[in-house]
Amino acid sequence: MTLHSSLEDAILSSVIALPIGISLYLYLRRSWPKIGLYDALQKSKLGRIQLYAWTVSYFLYLSYTIDYAIFYELDFHGMMAYALVALLSLLTGAMLLGRGQFLLIPLAIAQIALAFLYWTPSLTQTQPSIDFLDVLNSSLLLVCITLIPYADGEPKMAWVVPTSLVVGIGALLAGAFLVTSLSQIYGAISMIGLVMVEALALNRVFRSRGVNLLLPFTAFLISILVSLISPIPFYNLTIAPSVALLYLSLFLGFAYLLSGAGRIFSWISSALMLYGLYNSFVVGDITQRISILVVTLLVILLGLILGRPRQASTPRVL
């Protein structure tokens, strides 16, 4: 809602997001995955690349989004800023360890309540975007529903996907007619909520792969400490590979998600993610492009090397 997109942009963004929601609904209604989208292509040679790309993308997202919410959106500085970063880091770390999920309930209630407070009708309509990338970016806010397969559920809960899509599209359309002076505060709260959910999704992936949870927990705290050395450069350097890897992981995930007639929806979604991957490289500066290339190549190499099946050793003939 805080985007205050034009009605034309909001409608186009909603249309773009529809294949994503339809694909996820058809997939989850059939069977609920154990490891998110990775379940759809774990037998493929590209499966590990998708898994590693998704994991690294969202892991990077945790620290730079906390920085962004505090230093950019809320524009806090000094002891107040660092105290909030410390508190949010501890809460996020708890989610990585699979604890404190109950905190999501009051956070969700707060976000729902804010959707009804301090909004006024827009007297000046925004102009339609002339850049398709802007429309794609706003529609991909709805890509957060791809976190749903990483929750612990079952096929009868697939209704959560269309419900989430309707709520998201409704907010996007409402934002074309409403404005608020508290948009930065609302945006920061939404980002914090997303960080918590992503930490829980990462927790499930790590547990499913038998990873000692203290390792990602420690790595996250180290990344936060490094980010505090210079939050703005850290944000600019890490957001580029994080977004690129997210597009890569979703491109691969949707390419393998469905079979039969439903494949058309997942392939449309996959094509959109490929376009987003291309643009994430094009719009970045030289430093961001280098970081995208280096991190992406490392993830692909790790996926190919670690993803190779082990060959059984030939028994000796005595």
What 8-state DSSP symbol labels residue 98? T
Mean pLDDT is lowest, of 151-155, 255-259, 303-307, for 303-307
Residue 134's pLDDT band (cuts 50, 70, 90) = low
Give the C-alpha separation, 96 to 199, whole Å: 5
Instruction: Look at residue 4 in the predicted model and tell me its pLDDT.
Output: 85
Please indicate, yes or no, whether the overall pTM of this predicted structure exceeds 0.85: yes
Task: Please determine, for residue 33, whether its predicted confidence score (pLDDT) is greater than 90.
Answer: yes
What pLDDT is stored for residue 317 in this prediction?
Answer: 41
Among the listed residues 84, 55, 96, the one whose alpha carbon sits nearest the alpha carbon of residue 189 = 84
- What is the tens place of the pLDDT at every residue in 46-105? 999 999 999 999 999 999 999 999 998 999 988 999 999 999 999 999 999 999 888 888
Of 22, 264, 230, the residue nearest 146 (C-alpha): 22
- The pLDDT of 288-311, averaged and rounded, is 83
- Percent of the chain residues past pLDDT 70, beyond the cut: 91
HSE (side-chain half, CA atoms, 13 Å) at 192: 26
Query: What pLDDT shows up at residue 40?
Result: 92
Q: How far is CA 131 from CA 4, 35, 110, in A?
A: 16, 35, 34
pLDDT at 81: 92
Question: Three-state SS for 9?
Answer: helix
- Residue 236 has what pLDDT? 87
